[in-house]
């Protein structure tokens, strides 16, 4: 089971605060007002039961979303860390490759210079 820290819950709950007046208000119409008190009470008890059930479903969904949110944050942190590691590996590979190319280029220049020197020696021996 996913564990959610109290700090993470509080952080997310702060973002979910609903301002007063944002929620729809219950408006009882003339039909309700025309009922006797007993029927109004029965109606209100049924309404309360329905609202409690709806609130329970909303709370369960909210808890699931909260847990999913926390899991996704952890996955993002992990992905960020893995991305940084991969970036460092690529930088090292490129740096090593560049160093190899520079070393080989220096060797090629040295060999080219040696060949030129040897060619001059051979040419001077042919002339001489």
* CA–CA gap between residue 39 and residue 103 (Å, rounded): 94
Domain boundaries, the chain: 34-127
Lowest mean pLDDT among 15-24, 31-40, 45-54, 114-123: 15-24
For residue 102, give the DSSP letter. Answer: H
Lookup result for tokens 């280029």: 105
- Percent of the chain at pLDDT exceeding 90: 66
* CA–CA gap between residue 97 and residue 54 (Å, rounded): 63
* CA–CA gap between residue 50 and residue 27 (Å, rounded): 16
Let me know: does 107 contact 44? Beta carbons within 8 Å.
no
Q: Is the pTM of this model over 0.75?
A: no
């Amino acid at each position: 089971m996913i564990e959610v820290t109290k700090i993470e819950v509080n952080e997310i709950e702060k973002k979910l605060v609903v301002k007063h007046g944002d929620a729809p208000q219950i408006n009882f119409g003339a039909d309700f007002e025309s009922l006797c008190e007993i029927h109004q009470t029965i109606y209100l008890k049924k309404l309360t039961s329905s609202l409690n059930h709806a609130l329970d479903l909303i709370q369960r969904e909210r808890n699931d979303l909260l847990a999913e949110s926390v899991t996704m944050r952890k996955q993002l942190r992990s992905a960020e860390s893995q991305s940084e590691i991969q970036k460092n590996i690529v930088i090292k590979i490129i740096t090593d490759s560049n160093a190899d190319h520079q070393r080989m280029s220096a060797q090629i220049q040295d060999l080219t210079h040696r060949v030129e020197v040897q060619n001059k020696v051979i040419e001077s021996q042919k002339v001489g």
